[in-house]
Amino acid sequence: MAFRGEGRANVYINPTSTPDGGLVGVSGDVAEGLDLDGDSRTGFVSPTGARGVDNMFYKALGCWKTFRGPPRLSSGALSNNDAMRDGAWTVVVVVEGRGKDPRNDSDVTVGFYPSADKLVKDAMGDVAADYTFRIRPDPKLEAIFKAKSVNGRIVSTRAMDEVWMRDAGAARELQLLKARIDLTLKPDGGLSGYIGGYRPWRPVYDGYVRARGPVIEALTWVKLPDVYYALRRNADYSPAGAKGEKTHISFAYRLDAIPAFVVSPDATRLATATSYKALAKSGETQMADRAPFNVVDGIVVAKGAKAESQPESALLPPASRTGSGAGGAP
């Protein structure tokens, strides 16, 4: 399946070696997300009627089976959330305000950090509340937002130039430029809402390639090069300015956070919403995903082997032979 590009090129690492199949995108005008560019005349309309929602990632891939379905029930969301709930990775959120009323505070800081402590499930299989999690300092994965709260709604007071988080999808790492949050504080202390920004689109595609191209295509009913073309076609942001190459695409995560106790890396005190990057050990980064197979250029090969097509002679049927035996070709 991989070597179907022009000249038997591997389409997973050379997606433009095959024509754009035209992955069908979202045609409606309603989408979840945030207004990232401050222009209410462009973008989608939110389910609550707010205009200017920027989410071209949804427009590009929202009709793909991986993303279709109710909240948390698309095939991709089920897989990623189940992995998180089963202990593959944990993200903790710290909300810190300077005022006396957490629901109405003009100076709020919200931090997102990795934790090495696994989530705990209750008897119903849901994430249990009020457990303790330590922040695990990471030299890259840390997202801190400046915000305010109004009647329990926590919104960014300015866009953050760049933040990094653990990606819930195949990319594993998520860079967001011009990032914002819009969260609602629940009565039980939990949070719900959105994190949005412009993410680089190429790592999204490369993540699916690393997840084994033929498997992704077979299970999600898509041609991966079409995903590449859809992301490139709908990219809407360039860090270099309006005339630069659009390497990023507007994007939003839906977030639901369970009340928990988040403590400092040494577990000696409750955590504050500040940077812990300086505490990361030299060379330490997020925990790597360990697969039981070896993937090279989107396909599974033996350790040390290359991902390459067989020669044409090995792919052709055997030549006909003249013979007199039973069943022989005349």
Task: Check pLDDT > 50 for residue 154.
Answer: yes
Asked if the model's pLDDT at residue 64 lies above 60, the reply is yes
> Is it the case that residue 169 has pLDDT exceeding 80?
yes
CB–CB of 117/285 below 8 Å? no
Domain residue ranges in the chain: 33-307
Q: Which two tokens stand for residue 56?
A: 């071209």
pLDDT for res 330:
38
Q: What is the mean pLDDT of the chain?
A: 91
Q: Evaluate if residue 318 carries a pLDDT over 60.
A: yes
Q: What's the pLDDT at 284?
A: 60
**Gap between the Cα atoms of 20 and 17, Å rounded:** 9
173-185 vs 191-200, strand pairing mode = antiparallel
Q: Confidence band (pLDDT; 50, 70, 90) for 69?
A: confident
Q: Which residue do the tokens 């033996």 mark? A: 302
> How many Cβ atoms from other residues are within 10 Å of residue 252's Cβ?
24
Confidence band for 82, pLDDT divided at 50, 70 and 90: confident
Average pLDDT (114-138) is 96
CA distance 242 to 236: 9
Please give the Cα distance from 16 to 219 (Å, whole number): 22
Indicate whether 118 pLDDT > 70.
Answer: yes
pLDDT at 317 over 80: no
Question: What's the average model confidence in pLDDT over 177-185?
Answer: 98
Confidence of residue 264 (pLDDT cuts 50, 70, 90): very high
Residue 85, pLDDT > 50, answer yes
Annotate the chain with three-state secondary structure.
CCCCCHHHCCCCCCHHHCCCCCCCCCCCCECCCECCCCCCCCCEECCCCCEEEECHHHHHHCCCCCCCCCCCCCHHHHHHHHHHHCCCCEEEEEEEECCCCCCCEEEEEEEEEEECCCCCECCCCCECCCCEEECCCCCCCEEEEEEEEECCEEEECCCEEEEEEECCCCCCEEEEEEEEEEEEECCCCCEEEEEEEEEECHHHHHHHHHCCHHHHHHHHCCCHHHHHHHHHHHCCECCCCCCCCCCEEEEEEEEEECCCEEECCCCCCECCCCCCHHHCCCCCCCCCCCCCCCEECCEECCCCCCCCCCCHHHHCCCCCCCCCCCCCCC
Is residue 108 within 8 Å of 147, Cβ to Cβ?
Answer: yes
Q: pLDDT: is 125 or 285 the higher one?
A: 125
pLDDT-derived band at 291 (thresholds 50, 70, 90) equals: low
**Measured between alpha carbons, how far is residue 204 from residues 82, 177, 251 in Å?**
20, 15, 12
